[in-house]
Amino acid sequence: MNHLVQRRILPWRTARRTFSSSHHHRTIHPLTSLPPRVSPSYNLRPTATLLSLNWPSPPRNILITKKKRTPGITASLIEYATHLSSTYPSINIILEPSSASELHADLPFPVYTWDEPPWNATPELLSEKTDLVCTLGGDGTILRASSLFSHAATVPPVLSFAMGTIGFLGEWKFNEYKRAFREVYMSGAGDAYANLSFPTPPALPTNTENASSDPLDTPLSYADIRGMSMGSNRTARILLRNRLKVGVFGPDGVRLNNSSSEGDTYALNEVIVHRGSSPHLKIIDVFVGGRFLTEAVADGMIISSPTGSTAYSLSSGGSIVHPLVSSLLLTPICPRSLSFRPLVLPAETPITLRLGEKNRGREVEVSIDGKRLSDGMGVGMEVRVLGEEVRSPTGEWRGGVPSIVRGVEGLEEREEDHWVGGLNALLKFNYPFGDQDGHR
């Protein structure tokens, strides 16, 4: 108990918490009661292609999402959240509504969440409050987490742990979570953190049975931060993944994808137009840069980000495009043509898919990052896409999904390799022929 109070007087605590009593611990709080978001900056590091993460002050509001219906992962979430809560006292844990109601009774600290309905009010609030997103699951979990920010121009950094499944987007192993979080938490602390005033660290519990010898389990003190901020300039490495800005419009030009607001929907992987359960070919007019390119007669069309080039576009025959190549991919799905080769276009080129007259009576389905829009698309409707710009005219990095790239301890200088490594280890790129059993 004392321990918990201690936590509350650490520098980032909120007044509200100071007065919280223990019965609050198992409660669910609304997002509105959280302090405002701390937004990091991203900087190009010399001789490197990844960016470095710099917090102006330590992150406090941490959203943790997980793969659904997987007991092992639920247990990991509890372990992870408990670690954060006990080691980083000022931290607030945000969970998705379903997780919050499932887990809050098991957690010795309060959790924050939002009301599912009315959905349309929530996303803005979430992006105004979240400092950092952590995902436990596979690529699908990352896509779902990113879709929580699909109407936000700025996504918090995302730290992803692959949980038993193949993950091309998230690459941290769960057993690295303490080191991973510390690295992110302290990233760029150098200047900003040094000026903060810290309390005396709490006396540690002396119960040797429970005492961990791992310094990463010790609640963070001023000395720690000071030491780190002085002695180390190791920062988390960020791959800023461009998204697509997607608008869906009716034949009358009225926006359909996002009834509650006027804005576009951001996609991390791709937007797909597909025949769905109709057994017939679809006819889709494709416009590039405002000009008619071609009439696609196909199962469907994919407009993908470079990140999505290893997802559906790959299965449809697209090239693999490095996430740092600023571009959009136009990949047909089963085109009734011998000569429809996938295209890679500049990210700033607007692309439009229009469902022309010839499809009369036939609907198509529109999906963003594997999630179907509730309404199908009929004759005259349009999907309009533009690549997100992740660099402002003044050269500042912003937007995109800032993905925290794994660095193997001691091999940080090879940090840039993760993508190439993933090609080989996960996609079995150019996997060699032959009998590897070698029993000949």
Task: Choose between 127 and 242: whose C-beta lies nearer to a second copy.
Answer: 242
Task: Choose between 93 and 343: whose C-beta lies nearer to a second copy.
Answer: 343
Residue in 336, 341, 372, 414 binding ligand NAI, rule: CB under 6 A: 336
- Host H or E run for residue 77: helix 71-87
Residue in 140, 201, 342, 378 binding ligand NAI, rule: CB under 6 A: 140
Least distance CB 272 / ligand NAI (angstroms): 7
Query: Quick one: which of 407, 39, 64 has its CA closest to 237?
Result: 407
Least distance CB 244 / a second copy (angstroms): 15
- Taken as a whole, the chain contains a residue count of 440
Please report whether residue 174 would count as binding a second copy according to CB under 8 A. yes
Please report whether residue 420 would count as binding a second copy according to CB under 8 A. yes
Query: Quick one: which of 134, 117, 118 has its CA closest to 76?
Result: 134
Number of residues that bind a second copy (CB under 8 A): 81
Rg for the chain, CA atoms, rounded: 24
User: Which partner, a second copy, ligand NAI, none, binds residue 169 by CB below 5 to 8 Å per kind?
Assistant: ligand NAI
Least distance CB 34 / ligand NAI (angstroms): 28
User: Which partner, ligand NAI, a second copy, none, binds residue 270 by CB below 5 to 8 Å per kind?
Assistant: ligand NAI
Please report whether residue 361 would count as binding ligand NAI according to CB under 6 A. no
For a second copy, the binding residues in 333-392 under the rule CB under 8 A are 333-346, 348-349, 365, 367, 370-372
Taking residues 305 to 344 in sequence order and writing x for each that binds a second copy by CB under 8 A, - otherwise, the string is -x--x--x-xxxxxxxxx-xxxx-x--xxxxxxxxxxxxx
In angstroms, rounded to a whole number, what is the distance separating the alpha carbons of residues 40 and 108?
A: 29
In angstroms, rounded to a whole number, what is the distance separating the alpha carbons of residues 179 and 148?
A: 26
In angstroms, rounded to a whole number, what is the distance separating the alpha carbons of residues 280 and 95?
A: 42
Stretch near a second copy under the rule CB under 8 A, chosen from 15-23, 152-160, 229-237, 297-305: 297-305
Indicate the SS3 state at residue 282: strand
In angstroms, rounded to a whole number, what is the distance separating the alpha carbons of residues 194 and 57?
A: 10
Beta-bridged to residue 266, according to DSSP, are 245
User: Which partner, a second copy, ligand NAI, none, binds residue 257 by CB below 5 to 8 Å per kind?
Assistant: none
Least distance CB 167 / a second copy (angstroms): 8
In angstroms, rounded to a whole number, what is the distance separating the alpha carbons of residues 367 and 179?
A: 36
In angstroms, rounded to a whole number, what is the distance separating the alpha carbons of residues 440 and 438?
A: 6
Residue in 10, 34, 73, 163 binding a second copy, rule: CB under 8 A: 163
Please report whether residue 434 would count as binding a second copy according to CB under 8 A. yes
Residue in 280, 322, 341, 414 binding ligand NAI, rule: CB under 6 A: 280
For ligand NAI, the binding residues in 249-278 under the rule CB under 6 A are 269-270
309: how many CB neighbours lie within 10 A of its CB? 25
For a second copy, the binding residues in 212-241 under the rule CB under 8 A are none
Please report whether residue 433 would count as binding a second copy according to CB under 8 A. yes
**Is there a contact between 153 and 397 (Cβ–Cβ < 8 Å)?**
no
Q: For residues 339-361, b (16+ Cβ closer than 10 Å) or e, as one string? A: ebebbbbebebbbbbbbeeebee
Please report whether residue 113 would count as binding a second copy according to CB under 8 A. no
Task: Choose between 253 and 438: whose C-beta lies nearer to a second copy.
Answer: 438
For residue 211, the one-letter residue type is A
**Which residues have C-beta within 8 Å of that of residue 218, sequence separation ≥ 6?**
87, 204, 212, 224
260: how many CB neighbours lie within 10 A of its CB? 13
For ligand NAI, the binding residues in 20-49 under the rule CB under 6 A are none
CA torsion, points 301, 152, 401, 100, in degrees to nearest 10?
-110
| C-alpha to C-alpha distances, 247 to 160, 382, 425, nearest whole angstrom | 28, 8, 36
Least distance CB 357 / a second copy (angstroms): 16
In angstroms, rounded to a whole number, what is the distance separating the alpha carbons of residues 357 and 7?
A: 64
Task: Choose between 28 and 423: whose C-beta lies nearer to ligand NAI.
Answer: 423
Taking residues 284 to 323 in sequence order and writing x for each that binds ligand NAI by CB under 6 A, - otherwise, the string is --------------xx-------xx-xxx--x--------
Residues that bind ligand NAI (CB under 6 A): 138-140, 143, 166, 168-169, 269-270, 279-281, 298-299, 307-308, 310-312, 315, 334, 336, 369-370
